[in-house]
Chain A
Amino acid sequence: MSEVTMSDPEVLRAPHVLEFPYSRSVGRDLGAFFTGLVEGRVLGASTRGSPDRVVVPAREYDPITGEDTDGLVEVGPGGVVTAWGWTDHPLEGQPLQRPFAWALVVLDGASNAILHVVDSGSHDAMSTGMRVVARFRDPAARVGSITDIECFVPEGSAPQADRAAGVEPVTVLSTPIRLDYTFSAGIAQSSFLRGLSEGRFLGQRCPRCGQVYVPPRGSCPTDGVPTTDVVELPDTGTVTTYCVVNVPFQGQAIELPYVCAQVLLDGANISFMHLIQGIPADQVRMGLRVRAVWVDRDDLVPSMESVRYFEPTGEPDAPYESYEEYL
């Protein structure tokens, strides 16, 4: 068995970006906390019990006991650094673009630390136990985010925050998230995709049960053994079942309505989903005989997009019994 490495040239890769514009509702207490930041103050919540504590940011519950909290309390803007780490080379997107310290800061009146940054100018100016004070952004630049506090600075070096009044309550935070992946097709699918770039369907047969998988996955899901025998299949097949899509969706590239069908290639034992065209949507039926319509020879790529769609062959429909077990 040959060893596969991440740099195996046989394996096709492509960038894969997952990106969503999340909008997060913050609820009563975190809402008050974020609204407070816009106003230029920091709010915690007091807890019942002995001793009473003040948790920051404000939240609906005592994180130790799970009990409901008991009302809002303003804390800070001064506080004490209880732990810190120095960053000489800030990365893009970090709060400051000059050397700074990540620090845990216990605001005056609070029972727990929050993570923020200290703009002390130098490593030597940092010490555990040092007094710091929050430096807020200008009122016009505050949006209801933890970064409304631009940073903490050594006490005495920040002006008092300008308070804003009549602030609209913060109820929802917009938190866009983007994840950049490299999608790896794996060995079996890569060989299938290369076949597509030659205008061919290459499946694999399970040596134990004899079933032909296309696209192949490199192993048989039933027997758990590698599927090493490559089988070339014709580009004709049967529509086993389908749906007519009438709903617009993110990433949609095809005009509505369109027919998305399970196509069982002749000689295959599993169907895959593809587009049916060349026939009105309301005339597509189970058992319809279809053939792949490929992109122009010069445009073939290692992707299922090399098949533009499947269209009717004009043959009589396949009898139900011939594909019944593939539903």
Chain B
Amino acid sequence: MSERCAVIGVGQTFHAAARTDVSIAGMVREAARRALDDASLDWPDIDAVVIGKAPDMFEGVVMPELYLASALGAVGKPMLRVHTAGSVGGSTALVAAHLVTSGRHSRVLTVAFEKQSDSDAMWALSVPQPFSPPLLAGAGGYFAPIIRAYIRRSGAPDHIGIEVAVKDRLHGLRNEYAHLHMEDINFDMVRDSIMLWDPIRYLETCPSSDGACAMVLGDEHAAESSQVPPAWVHGMAMRSEPTMFAGRDQVNPQAGRDCAADVYRQAGISDPRREIDMAEVYVPFSWYEPMWLENLGFAAEGEGWKLTDSGATSMDGGDIPWNCSGGVLCTNPIGASGMLRFAEAALQVRGRAGEHQVDGVRRALGHAYGGGSQFFAMWVLGSEKP
């Protein structure tokens, strides 16, 4: 039987298109220091550090964990680096949680970051390869055909993607750390924004951000000594699948469904829409909200868009608010984006989400995906000890 684990500290940077005021080390420390302060702990209290980020090509610093070990107080302690593309922030938190549930460590600091302004990260994702023409235009070029397939399969009307883009930006206005604060966001503005990768409009995509996120995870003793209510891990899982194989369902990937089923089984959840109070889900293009509503079992296949359309996922009157922080659509330092989802779930469960707090959250889902929808990481946190 494994040990219990809880989130006892959460911190993040102020996110922006370019944080030219800090080095990479200064940026990760900004998040880590806030997490330590939130946990009322200091560097010597930490037993191990687990760090994650997306491809090293984004900053041109190969194996940044070597250089960042000293910046994160890891001297004389174990330090691990995790990499699972865009889901890395989630899987990094899960590796850290496993160090606690295994009974090996009492307090683990986990950090994820990306400093995308150091390069042009969008194109670092689609470098032309020999023997093939340069067709792939960034992540949007990869995901747009899959979104088109979802629209065809579900019969969803065009305005669904626009609604999500508006809703998440409205949520983001309540989050002081978010990169985008679009005071004047509205339906027409999104609808009239340029169609970058038809069917994806400019305002239906995430920004490119600099930022970091950190959490302190503790065992039962550390959680019970915490001055702030802990967020207990009720379930956690990762799954992966090949990017391409014959018969692969790219719209509704098996690995995502399996990962969710595993987490819900651990947490004793049979109806996520009713039993989870809020979810923070990796939605980099607005259409991924209805797609993941189905993949994660909040709606039947083909019905996710109806849930979005009904307003159910909005903080303003919805019964299952998604992405109260503003989500990836407001803040996207790729390596940290998954951990920001996991951290928002923790903030909500601990009642520490400030203006974007949902009343009475007892259980929250944090979700991340990456690569060509081939890596998934999720956890369910709860206010009560499992």
B152 within 8 Å of A (CB atoms)? yes
CB neighbours of A281 from chain B (8 A): 198
A293 CB, nearest partner CB in chain B, Å: 13
- Does residue A185 face the partner (Cβ distance < 8 Å to B)? yes
Query: Does A317 interact with chain B (Cβ within 8 Å)?
Result: no
| Chain B residues, CB < 8 A from A66 | 43, 70-75
A160 to B25 alpha-carbon distance, docked (Å): 33
Q: Which B residues touch A260, using CB under 8 A?
A: 135-137, 141, 145
- Check A67–B43 contact: CB distance below 8 A: yes
B38 at the A/B interface (Cβ < 8 Å)?
Answer: no
Contacts of A209 in B (CB 8 A): 246
CB within 8 A of A269: which of B24, B126, B246? B246
Q: Kindly identify which residue among B20, B26, B146, B197 contacts A244, using a CB–CB cutoff of 8 Å.
A: B197
1/0 contact string of B41-58 vs chain A (CB within 8 Å): 001100000000000010
Q: How far is the CB of B304 from chain A (nearest CB, A)?
A: 16
Question: Do A327 and B246 contact each other (CB < 8 Å), given the known contacts A241-B145, A249-B126, A249-B138?
Answer: no
Chain B residues whose C-beta falls within 8 Å of the C-beta of A222 in the assembled complex: 242, 245-247
Instruction: Tell me the smallest distance from the CB of A253 to a CB of chain B, in Å.
Output: 6
State how many angstroms separate the Cβ of B120 from the closest Cβ of chain A: 7
Is B118 in the interface zone, CB < 8 Å from A? yes
Q: Are A22 and B60 in contact (CB under 8 A)?
A: yes
Q: Which of A27, A183, A270, A324 has the most chain B CB atoms inside 10 A of its CB?
A: A27
Q: Which of A59, A261, A302, A305 contacts B133 (CB 8 A)?
A: A305
Contact status A64-B70, CB under 8 Å: yes
Please tell me if the beta carbons of B137 and A249 are within 8 angstroms of each other in the complex. yes
What residues on B are CB-neighbors of A26 within 8 Å?
Answer: 23
Quick one: CB contact mask for B130-165 with A, threshold 8 Å, 1 for yes?
111111111011001110110011000000000000
| Size class of the B contact interface (CB-based, 8 Å) | 35 or more
Contact of A325 among B23, B132, B247 (CB under 8 A): B247
B residues less than 8 Å from A22 (CB atoms): 59-60, 118-119
CB closest residue in chain B, given A250: B123
Contact A61 B29 (CB under 8 A): yes
A24 touches B59 (CB 8 A): yes
A171: B residues at CB distance < 8 A? 20-21
Q: Does A9 contact B (CB under 8 A)?
A: no
Q: Are A60 and B200 closer than 8 Å at their CB atoms?
A: no
Within the complex, what minimum Cβ distance (angstroms) separates A240 from chain B?
A: 7
Known: A27-B26, A242-B148. A327 touches B57 (CB 8 A): no
Contact status A303-B131, CB under 8 Å: yes
Q: Are B137 and A252 in contact (CB under 8 A)?
A: yes
* Residues in B whose Cβ lies below 8 Å from that of A37: none
Query: A259-310: which residues lie under 8 A (CB-CB) from chain B?
Result: 260-262, 269-270, 273-275, 281, 286, 302-305
> Inside 8 A of A25's CB, which chain B residues have their CB?
18-23, 115, 117-118
Query: For the complex, is A211 an interface residue (Cβ under 8 Å from B)?
Result: yes
B127 contact set on A, CB distance < 8 A = 18, 251
A27-B22 contact given A243-B200, A247-B138, A304-B133, CB 8 Å threshold: yes
Q: Which of B57, B131, B146, B245 has the most CB of A within 10 A?
A: B131
A156 contacts the other chain (CB 8 A): no
A43 CB within 8 Å of chain B: no
Near B by CB (< 8 A), chain A positions 70-107 give: none
Known: A25-B18, A66-B71, A260-B137. Is A249-B26 also a contact (CB below 8 A)?
A: no
Chain A residues near B200 (CB-CB < 8 A): 243
**A34 to B250 alpha-carbon distance, docked (Å):** 48
Are A273 and B135 closer than 8 Å at their CB atoms?
A: yes
A270–B198 CA distance with the chains assembled, in angstroms = 23
Residue A4, interface by CB 8 Å: no
Contact A327-B198, Cβ < 8 Å, known A66-B75, A241-B149: no
The yes or no answer to B129 lying at the interface (CB within 8 A) is yes
Q: Which residues of A contact B44 (CB under 8 A)?
A: 65
With known contacts A60-B23, A60-B29, A23–B249 Cβ distance under 8 A? no
Q: Is the CB of A249 within 8 A of B123?
A: yes
Chain B residues, Cβ within 8 Å of A324: 153
- Smallest Cβ distance from A129 to chain B, in angstroms? 27
A175 on the interface (CB 8 Å rule)? yes
Instruction: Find out whether the CB atom of A240 lies under 8 angstroms from the CB atom of B135.
Output: no
Residue contact B198 to A246, C-beta cutoff 8 Å: yes
By beta carbon, the residue of chain B nearest A222 is B245
B128 contacts partner chain A, Cβ-Cβ < 8 Å: yes
Residues of B within 8 A of A302 (CB): 131
**Considering only CB atoms, which chain B residue lies closest to A26 in the complex?**
B23
Chain B nearest CB from A295 CB (Å) reads 11
Q: Are A246 and B245 in contact (CB under 8 A)?
A: no
Contacts beyond the supplied A22-B60, A303-B131: 16 A-B pairs with Cβ under 8 Å: A20-B57, A20-B120, A27-B26, A64-B75, A66-B75, A183-B131, A211-B247, A221-B242, A245-B141, A252-B137, A260-B136, A262-B145, A269-B246, A269-B247, A304-B131, A305-B132
A residues neighboring B (CB under 8 Å): 12, 14-16, 18, 20-30, 59-61, 63-67, 171-172, 175, 177, 183, 185, 189, 193, 209, 211-213, 220-222, 240-247, 249-254, 257, 260-262, 269-270, 273-275, 281, 286, 302-305, 320, 324-327
Please name 19 pairs of A and B residues whose Cβ atoms are closer than 8 Å in the assembled complex, sorted by A: A22-B60, A24-B60, A25-B115, A27-B27, A28-B21, A59-B23, A65-B43, A183-B131, A189-B131, A213-B246, A242-B145, A243-B140, A249-B123, A249-B126, A260-B137, A273-B136, A274-B135, A275-B133, A305-B133
**What 3 A-B pairs are tightest by C-beta distance, nearest first?**
A66-B73, A243-B144, A27-B23
